[in-house]
Structure 1
């Protein structure tokens, strides 16, 4: 495999995790800015919030927790818009939602751990929903490929 093809494969494989990492890190940084250094319960609440958000997504996507395939096993490997791997919508869009959530919660006097849990959940849910929107936009903008006969 030539280096450029390998880089294409690597970018495709890492794109969603890379954007999610920026989302989670950015959301945590915004929480620290608003609430100060997190206590151990705050950190655990943030992580459990993210896990809860992912559990909600998995619960929707799969028919059963023991299922090995989703509701729609049709995988399209080749049709994507490279720009959608950069996550210009999902990452900053989610950070705006996280910031709005933090601003709403900061003035309520709720325990810090609850804010961390809420933002962890929101970050996971919103990021994944926004990547679906990016994929849809990518499908609309991608140039159709001609099939070889």
Structure 2
């Protein structure tokens, strides 16, 4: 396989995980900047918030948690939709606003939970928006 095709295959395979990693890592870094190194309760709250969001999104997308996964085959989104600027940037902006807005007003564990939840929920929701926008722009 020629190098450019291998690179293209790698980028397609990594694209969604790459953006989500940036979102979750960035959200955690924002929390650490405002609250310091988290204890186990705050870590569990952060991870728990992300797990709740993923559970809810999966239940909605697949019609229930016990439904079989059916992934679309043959989809060909535009390359621009792989960058995830809106999904990552929007999620990190929400993480920042919750972190700053909750400081001194909400229990830190709740803020950590909200940032984990919003990072996951917004990232995945905004991916749908980015993909739709990319298809509209790409079809012109």
Alignment partners' CA distance in 1, 2:104 and 2:73 = 45
Alignment partners' CA distance in 2, 1:25 and 1:80 = 26
The alignment of Structure 1 onto Structure 2 pairs a total of residues equal to 140
For structure 1, which segment, 94-103 or 123-132, has the greater mean C-alpha deviation from structure 2 after superposition?
A: 94-103
- Deviating beyond 3 angstroms after TM superposition, the runs of 4 or more aligned structure 1 residues are 73-76
| Counterpart selection for 2:101 from 92, 101, 104 | 104
Alignment partners' CA distance in 2, 1:76 and 1:56 = 26
Q: 1:65 to 1:114 in 2, by over 3 A?
A: same
Q: How does 1:1-149 map to 2 (within 5 A)?
A: 1-70=1-70, 74-77=72-75, 79-108=76-105, 110-143=106-139
Greater per-residue helix proportion? 2
- Residue 74 of structure 1: CA displacement? 4.3
- Residue 134 of structure 1: CA displacement? 0.5
**Structure 1 unaligned blocks of 5 or more:** 145-149
- Whether the aligned pair in 2 keeps the contact of 1:53 and 1:125 (CA below 8 Å) is yes
CA shift digits 1:28-81 (9 cap, x unpaired): 0111111111011111111111111100100101123222235xx64342x211
- Whether the aligned pair in 2 keeps the contact of 1:59 and 1:65 (CA below 8 Å) is yes
- Whether the aligned pair in 2 keeps the contact of 1:54 and 1:125 (CA below 8 Å) is yes
- Residue 13 of structure 1: CA displacement? 1.1
**Structure 2 unaligned blocks of 5 or more:** none
Alignment partners' CA distance in 2, 1:74 and 1:47 = 28
Tell me the equivalent position of 1:147.
Answer: none
